Structure 1
Amino acid sequence: MTNRDLMIFLTLSFMWSLSFIFYRIGVPEFGSLAFASLRVVLAGLTMLVFVLLKKKNRQGIRDNWKVLTLVGLFSAAIPFMLFAFAARSVNAGVLAVLNASVPMMSGFIASTFFKDRLSKKQILGLVIGIVGVVILMSESLFGEQSGTSGSGLLPMGYALLACVGYAVGANITRNYLDNVTPVAITAGSLIIASVIMLPIALYEFPYGKSISLTAWVSVICIGVFSTAIALIFMNQLIKSIGPMRATSITLVIPIFAIILGYLLLGEALDTPAIIGSVVILFGTYLSLEISIKKMLTS
């Protein structure tokens, strides 16, 4: 990993960790559906620029619009809405930790439905990750009675379902869009998703309600920077260091999210949350089959 790759890696980690902060700021004012749909629409408008710039991208979208529709739904529209519902009561740091389970879920789906074999290390990581999720969601250890956490089983379930969506979208992309450029996949899926979500954005928008400047900045930043621009960075990172090491970014995002949640929102994590978070991140690390030493030196 070159210094440039490392800089992109850390920048992307920061940008994606901010998305959970933006959820916590914007959702209470816009509402879950309005915020999530506006995020998709703004991301789609941003990616429209890249479609207009290259004919190859337009061709890739035209030829694969049906599959890209599925990717847009599972990788953007549905997960964004579910995370928006979860963000009403779940801390940004906890959301980021649950988001880190995506590689484990992706591996399980690939093994179950697409006949990709998991190694013993990956299976161990999956089991450990599940244990971590159980700890994090345990009503007796980490429930709504914990005032500092402000989380509950149902909202955290929304977040986990969002992660399932991400995992399904990733497997569809890998198995059915291998011949399409990453930019075309990103642009096509987000543009199609934005067309689907636009009526929801118009219907659910809180007309007549005073929206603060902070909330407007949050929805614009999450749509443009933490979605569209971030995915461009991710595509570049995948191209440079490979998908396996690029996916390890999910291990770093929670660190940024927890720190930012503490500094910007005054959020705190109790002991069960910390234990569950560490277990999930360790399980994710094993499921990715990466070596930190090799990643930094290669």
Structure 2
Amino acid sequence: MNKNQYKWVVLLILSLIWGSSFILMKKALLGLTPVQVGAFRILITAVFLLLIGFKSLKKIKKEQWKYVFYSALLGTLFPSFLFAFAVDKIDSSIASILNSLTPFNTLIVGVLVFGFLFQKKQIAGILIGLLGTLILILKGADLNPNQNYWFALFPIISSIGYAFNVNIIKKHLQDLEPIAITTGNFILIIIPALLVLAFTGFFSSFELNETTEPALFYITILAIVGTGFAKIMFNKLIQISSPIFSSSVTYLIPIVAVMWGILDGEKLSLIQLVAGVIILFGVYLVNKKK
């Protein structure tokens, strides 16, 4: 398998994993609060990564730690909580759709902040993908008029954080092993996650029961597979491809997430299916070679 084929395999695997993450969050929220889902996701992932990647921390140079920290905040800490709150208030499929704004934000951040150059056809592909996203959002709002769409801002804010994260890794952590980046990320945000739980009264009020036990099971799967393994794979993808290609995984995620949503009783129309095809065409244009 050559490098070009490998990056597409990684992209598709990530799409399946992260597309399934939204339904796992939704199920976890049946027994946990959004704050608890965000914090547990970080803590469980951190423990898992310490077990498999502790030795890799030695490879992080002193001057690289500040970029690992920026990556941890923008690519993991804030999105973990923001998405939990979003999925608690709007359909999980809609939250995943809004996440597909990431490639657009990656382009803007890359050009304005990091000095990266992109081709015109990539901009066209992103805009077509965004058109598909807009159709999905508007139709989702039409099908679910009682949902609080102010919380739709949270995935959008997260997508900006993801955009910075992708560009930070590509420019400043390109030569660092993906497992070192990921483990370093979570080592730095264990304390904030514990503090959030402490200040929200978790340690004095939480009880294991028939509702919280399955919720913890779902969040554990989300943490280990959807965050731990997936983050390592994503950091590798950033290094072997471009920032735009890496962030285009967020175009494919909604397709998987919407399918899970349908199975869970969420509504999907023919127009939304067409929008999914438009998004895929945008991905094709973004990554099409000359």
Q: Indicate the TM-score class for this superposition, using the shorter chain for normalisation.
A: 0.7 to 0.9
The 3-state SS of whatever aligns with 2:227 is helix
Cα distance in 2 for residues equivalent to 1:270 and 1:154: 23
CA shift for structure 1 position 28? 3.7
Q: Structure 1 residues 18 and 230 mapped into 2: Cα distance closer, same or farther (>3 Å)?
A: same
Checking the alignment, whether the CA contact within 8 Å between 1:251 and 1:281 is kept in structure 2 is yes
Deviations 1:114-171 (A, max 9, x none): 2222322122233334444444444xx543x634x76443122211111111111111
Cα distance in 2 for residues equivalent to 1:133 and 1:4: 27
Deviations 1:66-90 (A, max 9, x none): 2211110100011111111110132
**Equivalent position of 1:242 in the other structure:** 241
Gaps of at least 5 residues in structure 1 are none
CA shift for structure 1 position 226? 0.6
The 3-state SS of whatever aligns with 1:20 is helix
**Equivalent position of 2:186 in the other structure:** 190
**Equivalent position of 1:74 in the other structure:** 74
TM-score (norm 1): 0.81
**Equivalent position of 1:26 in the other structure:** 28
Q: Structure 1 residues 75 and 235 mapped into 2: Cα distance closer, same or farther (>3 Å)?
A: closer
- The residue type equivalent to 1:37 in the other structure is A
What percentage of residue pairs aligned between the two structures are identical?
A: 26
Matched, 1:17 2:35: no
Matched, 1:171 2:154: no
CA shift for structure 1 position 99? 2.1
Checking the alignment, whether the CA contact within 8 Å between 1:86 and 1:156 is kept in structure 2 is yes
Checking the alignment, whether the CA contact within 8 Å between 1:9 and 1:249 is kept in structure 2 is yes
Checking the alignment, whether the CA contact within 8 Å between 1:61 and 1:188 is kept in structure 2 is no
Checking the alignment, whether the CA contact within 8 Å between 2:10 and 2:237 is kept in structure 1 is yes
The 3-state SS of whatever aligns with 1:252 is helix
Q: Structure 1 residues 277 and 10 mapped into 2: Cα distance closer, same or farther (>3 Å)?
A: closer
Cα distance in 2 for residues equivalent to 1:275 and 1:116: 32
Alignment coverage as a number of residue pairs: 283
CA RMSD of aligned residues (A): 3.0
Alignment of 1:1-298 (within 5 A): 1=1, 9-54=11-56, 57-60=57-60, 62-138=62-138, 142-143=140-141, 146-147=143-144, 151-204=147-200, 205=202, 207-208=206-207, 210=209, 211-236=211-236, 242-243=241-242, 247-263=247-263, 265-270=264-269, 273-274=272-273, 276-286=275-285, 288-290=286-288
